């Protein structure tokens, strides 16, 4: 009897432990933003009132700025009126504002507290303020400024009933760091007087590390306040950070908190601000400097996905059908397709900001061709294609499928990439961020879907999931804690393959940091890594070294040389291939394409400068989603330098009517035995093209109760409809 009672008690303890573990998991998910409301899959940001021409029909309208967007010209309607105008049209409304710049003239002119604060703008070595616009400097985020943001902006947003807040672009320019405000922050943070960053590598590193801290503090204070104030009003306020990727900020010489924010309980997630403007930044590869938009976008989105996947934070991917710089419509279209495909190649992400600033997209004037001076609003064919693409994002599923190619090769990156980009010291330079691209582009150009691994996440077990080969270089970054090496060394001992590239000769190797202070006497941080790995020497030469069940491959060459010189990546690829073979028993797969299936969608990209100039031939039954006519194809040929986005009709249930794709969002679908009807909504002054699956050819089609023309495709059992869009809705009735 005693045995059974004891056994029952043990089982009860196990049950209670499981319940406690489940409750902790639920609480953790709640903190990390995975409890976001249903119906918030897609959104867009706007500072405007609702207008028929910009009724994008995503789930969420993110209203920008209590005082509007400082880049807008003319009168800005009151914040609450703007919020109401979108709510009245059925949108969930969120809020976005700038944390490094915004319509904060009342703060800078002294209207708020009686004291002018223009001295808190970011300044260069010449004493010039870095401006975002008139009376809009980039800000050194003092505690006084944060108090202003909380009191004058966050409170008002929450009082308007908004429970999701996005504070975007926490940006401190690397060339800044000379204002009196920054000098005060330096003294408080370091405890010794300010040092000009241009005078030494150590000063540069310390300056950028402080900039990083200031915006980490800013978001922690503002978001903690938002959650506490929301809680006092019975609201669960969620807080997100729209931010460029770590790849872009490092390339553009900007400092931001990036991955470290995911450790804050007050941060629920991010928007990955990746678009043509960031991805068209020129890179070197095979000795040639030029734009590589698809490849750059793939790496940017990848750095954002890997930053949040181990932490469970929510991630929205952004694309933009145009960009900040004035180009022509053909340029925008081609690069939009490239970035759009790049984002879809990350199947674990299924939340999207479908566009920023719809007003400038639908109503802005841009050149009709590269050599033309004529400007016009968005061409109807492009707005149709764009709306088809946006509606696929409303439907896009998460997927466990993987991109084609050898999976499991990662490149380590750290927030410290932003600490040593500006200015150059001791004759050492890193043109176009080539030490990073030297580790990634040679693999990606060969069709290897190379991932990035954030050093800030190495303590989280999920970071190491499915990773077979890790590439590390300390040529353009430094490990921010020694504990990072403990986790890397354990992974190698357990069977991982580590490739270390670098001569450790850049001038930042000797900055005042953990590896050369508090009793540590390492000339470079890699010496500590190799010691942790148990190698016989802290400074191993080029070669292979066993470490437990794993192997360390050392290459004493700076990664930038792999891309700055024609053919410079040969030994690098050979080394990674050996590591891959040792880890998996398989040869590294090289090709010129990446493909992925997500539900009914087939996504593919073919790269130029690759192992082959052969096009990718896709055979099946598809709808071409990049063609505004939505043609049904048996074969799709994708040439090097091109991407494609297809609806795969294989396996579609032809017995039940369904809207497959179109340039309007569909509401009020009704399926009857012999009919199918729906309401289509999309912005005014745009054309709809839709392809509808039906059991048989229609007998009649009515648009707003009037007979309408259609075309029928026997092979796909689809009906093609065309009509003028309306945000108020177009009623479609099909009898068959």
Query: Lowest-pLDDT range, 22-36, 280-294, 453-467, 614-628?
Result: 22-36
Question: CB neighbours (10 Å) of residue 133?
Answer: 13
| 353-390: pLDDT as tens digits | 999 999 999 999 999 999 999 999 999 999 999 999 99
Does residue 710 share a domain with residue 564?
Answer: no
In a domain, 206, yes or no: no
pLDDT surpassing 70 at residue 111: yes
In a domain, 491, yes or no: yes
pLDDT at 723: 98
Does residue 670 share a domain with residue 576?
Answer: no
> Average pLDDT of 582-593?
98
CB 95 within 8 A of CB 75: no
In a domain, 93, yes or no: no
The residue among 584, 604, 624 that closes a domain is: 584
pLDDT at 72: 80
Does residue 663 share a domain with residue 540?
Answer: no
> Average pLDDT of 601-628?
98
pLDDT band at 73 (very low <50, low <70, confident <90, very high): low
pLDDT surpassing 50 at residue 13: no
Residue 298: φ, ψ to 5°: -60, -45
pLDDT surpassing 80 at residue 31: no
Does residue 548 share a domain with residue 436?
Answer: yes
Does residue 675 share a domain with residue 537?
Answer: no
pLDDT surpassing 70 at residue 9: no
CB 671 within 8 A of CB 39: no
Q: Which two tokens stand for residue 333?
A: 């279209």
pLDDT surpassing 50 at residue 223: yes
Does residue 578 share a domain with residue 684?
Answer: no
The region, left, alpha or beta by phi > 0 then psi within -120 to 50, assigned to residue 551 is beta
Query: Lowest-pLDDT range, 3-7, 666-670, 706-710?
Result: 3-7
Q: How far is CA 428 from CA 198, 284, 476, 558, 687, in A?
A: 14, 17, 11, 11, 54
* Residue 444 to residue 466: CA distance in whole angstroms: 18
In a domain, 96, yes or no: no
Q: Where are the beta strands (DSSP E) in 56-171?
A: 60-64, 92-98, 131-133, 136-137, 164-168
| 391-422: pLDDT as tens digits | 999 999 999 999 999 999 999 999 999 999 88
In a domain, 709, yes or no: yes
CB 384 within 8 A of CB 687: yes
pLDDT at 423: 86
pLDDT surpassing 60 at residue 30: no
Q: How far is CA 490 from CA 58, 250, 467, 533, 581, in A?
A: 45, 29, 13, 8, 20
| 561-575: pLDDT as tens digits | 999 999 999 999 999
| 644-699: pLDDT as tens digits | 999 999 989 989 999 999 999 999 999 999 999 999 999 999 999 999 999 999 99
pLDDT band at 32 (very low <50, low <70, confident <90, very high): very low
> Average pLDDT of 173-185?
97
> Average pLDDT of 698-716?
97
The residue among 560, 584, 608 that closes a domain is: 584
pLDDT surpassing 90 at residue 19: no
Residue 536: exposed, middle, or buried by beta-carbon count in 10 A (0-12, 13-18, 19+)? exposed
pLDDT at 38: 65
How big is the chain, counted in residues?
736
For residues 341, 344, 346, 350, the Cα torsion angle rounded to the nearest 10 degrees is: 160
CATH of the domain at 477: 3.40.50
Supply the pTM of this predicted model. 0.94
Does residue 553 share a domain with residue 429?
Answer: yes
Domain that holds residue 521: 409-584
The residue among 584, 610, 635 that closes a domain is: 584
> Average pLDDT of 496-520?
96
Does residue 684 share a domain with residue 576?
Answer: no
| 53-63: pLDDT as tens digits | 999 999 999 99
In a domain, 238, yes or no: no
Does residue 675 share a domain with residue 561?
Answer: no
pLDDT at 70: 83
pLDDT at 74: 62
Does residue 663 share a domain with residue 554?
Answer: no
What is the number of structural domains in the chain?
2
Does residue 576 share a domain with residue 698?
Answer: no
* Residue 408 to residue 30: CA distance in whole angstroms: 30
pLDDT surpassing 70 at residue 7: no
* Residue 395 to residue 397: CA distance in whole angstroms: 6
pLDDT at 80: 96
In a domain, 28, yes or no: no
* Residue 363 to residue 692: CA distance in whole angstroms: 30
Does residue 662 share a domain with residue 580?
Answer: no
| 326-342: pLDDT as tens digits | 999 999 999 999 999 99
In a domain, 516, yes or no: yes
């Amino acid at each position: 009897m005693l045995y059974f009672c004891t056994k029952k008690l043990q089982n009860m303890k196990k049950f209670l432990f499981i319940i406690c573990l489940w409750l902790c998991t639920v609480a953790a998910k709640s903190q990390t933003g995975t409890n976001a409301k249903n119906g918030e899959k897609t959104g867009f940001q706007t500072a405007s009132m609702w207008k028929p021409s910009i009724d994008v029909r995503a789930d969420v309208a993110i209203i920008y700025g209590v005082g509007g967007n400082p880049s807008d010209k003319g009168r800005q309607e009151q914040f609450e009126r703007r919020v109401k105008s979108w709510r009245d049209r059925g949108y969930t409304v969120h809020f976005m504002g700038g944390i490094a710049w915004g319509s904060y003239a009342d703060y800078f002119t002294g209207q708020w507290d009686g004291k002018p604060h223009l001295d808190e703008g970011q300044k260069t070595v010449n004493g010039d303020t870095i401006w975002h616009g008139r009376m809009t400097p980039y800000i050194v985020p003092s505690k006084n400024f944060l108090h202003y943001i909380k009191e004058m902006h966050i409170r008002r947003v929450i009082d308007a009933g908004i429970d999701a807040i996005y504070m975007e672009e926490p940006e401190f320019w690397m060339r800044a760091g000379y204002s009196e405000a920054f000098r005060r922050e330096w003294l408080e943070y370091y405890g010794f007087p300010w040092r000009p960053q241009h005078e030494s590598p150590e000063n540069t590193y310390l300056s950028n590390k402080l900039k990083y801290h200031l915006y980490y503090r800013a978001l922690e204070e503002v978001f903690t306040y938002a959650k506490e104030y929301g809680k006092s009003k019975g609201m669960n306020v969620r807080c997100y950070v729209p931010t460029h990727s770590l790849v872009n900020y490092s390339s553009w010489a900007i400092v931001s908190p990036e991955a470290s924010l995911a450790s804050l309980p007050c941060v629920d997630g991010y928007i990955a601000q990746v678009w043509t403007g960031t991805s068209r930044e020129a890179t070197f590869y095979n000795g040639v400097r030029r734009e590589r938009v698809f490849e750059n976008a793939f790496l940017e989105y990848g750095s954002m996905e890997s930053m949040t996947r181990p932490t469970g934070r929510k991630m929205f991917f952004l694309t933009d059908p145009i960009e900040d710089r004035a180009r022509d419509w053909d340029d925008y279209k081609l690069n939009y397709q490239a970035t759009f495909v790049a984002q879809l190649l990350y199947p674990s992400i299924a939340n999207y900001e479908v566009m920023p600033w719809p007003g400038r997209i639908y109503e802005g004037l841009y050149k009709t061709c590269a050599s033309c001076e004529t400007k016009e609003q968005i061409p109807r064919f492009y707005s149709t294609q764009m709306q088809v693409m946006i509606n696929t994002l409303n439907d896009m599923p998460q997927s466990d499928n993987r991109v084609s190619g050898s999976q499991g090769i990662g490149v380590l990156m750290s927030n410290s990439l932003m600490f040593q980009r500006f200015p150059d010291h001791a004759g050492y330079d890193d043109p176009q961020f080539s030490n990073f691209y030297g580790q990634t582009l040679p693999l990606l150009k060969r069709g290897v879907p190379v991932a990035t691994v954030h050093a800030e996440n190495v303590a989280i077990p999920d970071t190491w999931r499915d990773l077979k080969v890790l590439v590390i270089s300390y040529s353009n970054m430094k490990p921010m804690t020694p504990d990072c090496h403990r986790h890397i060394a354990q992974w190698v001992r357990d069977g991982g393959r580590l490739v270390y590239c670098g001569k450790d000769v850049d001038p930042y190797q000797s900055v005042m940091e953990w590896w050369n202070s508090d009793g540590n006497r390492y000339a470079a941080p890699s010496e500590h890594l190799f010691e942790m790995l148990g190698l016989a020497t802290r400074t191993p030469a080029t070669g292979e070294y066993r470490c437990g069940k794993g192997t360390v491959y050392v290459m004493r060459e700076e990664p930038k040389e792999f891309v700055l010189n024609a053919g410079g990546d040969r030994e690098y690829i050979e080394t990674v291939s050996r590591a891959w073979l040792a880890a998996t028993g398989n040869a590294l797969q090289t090709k010129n394409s990446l493909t992925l299936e997500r539900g009914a969608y087939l996504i593919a990209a073919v790269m130029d400068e690759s192992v082959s100039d052969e096009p990718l031939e896709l055979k099946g039954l598809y709808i071409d989603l990049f063609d505004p006519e939505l043609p049904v194809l048996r074969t799709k040929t994708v040439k090097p330098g091109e991407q494609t986005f297809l609806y795969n009709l294989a396996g579609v249930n032809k017995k039940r009517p369904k809207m497959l794709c179109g340039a309007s969002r569909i509401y009020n679908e009704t399926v009857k035995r012999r009919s199918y009807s729906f309401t289509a909504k999309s912005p005014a002054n745009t054309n709809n093209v839709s392809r509808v699956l039906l059991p048989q050819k229609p007998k009649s089609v009515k648009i707003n109760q009037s007979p309408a023309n259609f075309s029928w495709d026997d092979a796909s059992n689809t009906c093609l409809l065309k009509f003028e869009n309306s945000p108020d809705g177009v009623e479609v009735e099909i009898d068959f």
